[in-house]
Amino acid sequence: LVFTEEDKYDLYSSLLFKYFLAEGIVCGHDLFVASAKEHPDNILKELPAPLLDDTCGKELGDEAAAVKPEDFQDSMKIAWRYQNLPKMEASPTTHTKFGHYYDVSKKMSPELCQSAKWRSFYLHEELSFEPKMKTCNMNSGYARLLQSIQTIISQEGFDGSDPQKKQRNVLRIGIQSLGSILWGDDVCCSDTPEDAHSLTKFLYVLRGLLRKSLSACIITVPSHLIQNKAIMERVTNLSDMVVGLESFIGSERETNPLYKDYHGLVHVHQIPRLNSLICDVSDTKDLAFRLKRKLFTIERLHLPPDLSDTVSRASKQDLAGSAKLLSSGCGAMAMGKKHLDF
């Protein structure tokens, strides 16, 4: 259960949402898209087109070549300890073949979309449908969504209930803007919502459904609107993976020279620890994203080299402040520095 906190204007989180669905189509999974905000048909029309292998490799290859200037190969004399650190690989190399890459400037072809089996749930069309399940005092919009998901899982055999079905497929569920007022939940409007437990009960039952079947789910939530932080904490505990997107639009970070290459930060609040004592521990958790003309990339946040001669005091303090937050990113900064200013 991947839980995404939306950025303020919902630009980047809907992009991530579409990537999840597009990946599902390309992999041949079944899709289930639910929204109260826009009709799922429209969402599906706007999925990014997948990049074919050779063009993708070429694009990344060009970038990687540009990034490796020759002077990195020189042995370091003063900061020689840094020589042993691995070179900062900001973008994924061509060796990693997990998943596909997408071209954000082009839309997915209608033929490819049609080839996938997908179902939609648009709240405003489903209002007349009465759920058969016990609602347990849950918001009726959520209850209908759960009923719909459960019906599909059992009818299409995603939970292994149909032994006849030989080929088992994965169901990718995408739910957009959960918790917003459009779903009939006032969690985003007031500090003491009328029914504080609807959202958490929904997530618990959803978690049960996901564990019982071959499905994966991404949910986006406008968490910046949720006033009651206690609910956010509970929701985090109920999800497997929690990622927050913070975009720089409209905040003071937009003009901060530290972040000039990026459009926002990715906060990884929780990573899944399933079927094992350990979880994936990557080197660093400081990630930032940027939206280029064709690609949306998530990279390790590293500070740009401090090359200017006149560096004002304010930005130096900023740099020091951010350097404290970075765990292993300082290596790159030291390598790029030409003028060491003590």
Q: Which is nearer to another protein, 102 or 183 (CB)?
A: 183
Q: Contacts with another protein in 267-296 (CB under 8 A)? A: 273-279, 281, 283, 285
Q: Which is nearer to another protein, 64 or 330 (CB)?
A: 330
Stretch that binds another protein, among 80-88, 91-99, 160-168, 226-234 (CB under 8 A): 226-234
Q: Does 146 bind another protein (CB under 8 A)?
A: yes
Q: Does 37 bind another protein (CB under 8 A)?
A: no
Q: Does 320 bind another protein (CB under 8 A)?
A: no
Bridge partners (DSSP) listed for residue 243: 4, 268
- Sole binder of another protein in the list 211, 260, 292, 339 (CB under 8 A): 211
Backbone angles phi, psi at 275, to 5 degrees: 60, 25
Q: Which is nearer to another protein, 175 or 231 (CB)?
A: 231
Q: Does 66 bind another protein (CB under 8 A)?
A: no
Q: Does 155 bind another protein (CB under 8 A)?
A: no
Q: Does 137 bind another protein (CB under 8 A)?
A: yes
CB of 238 to another protein, least distance (A): 6
Furthest C-alpha separation in the chain: 74
DSSP 8-state assignment for residue 84: G
- Sole binder of another protein in the list 37, 117, 234, 267 (CB under 8 A): 234
- Sole binder of another protein in the list 68, 95, 134, 338 (CB under 8 A): 134
Q: Does 340 bind another protein (CB under 8 A)?
A: no
- Sole binder of another protein in the list 190, 237, 308, 317 (CB under 8 A): 237
Residue ranges that bind another protein, judged by CB under 8 A? 133-134, 136-137, 146, 150, 197, 200-201, 204-205, 207-209, 211-212, 228-230, 233-234, 237-238, 273-279, 281, 283, 285, 325, 327
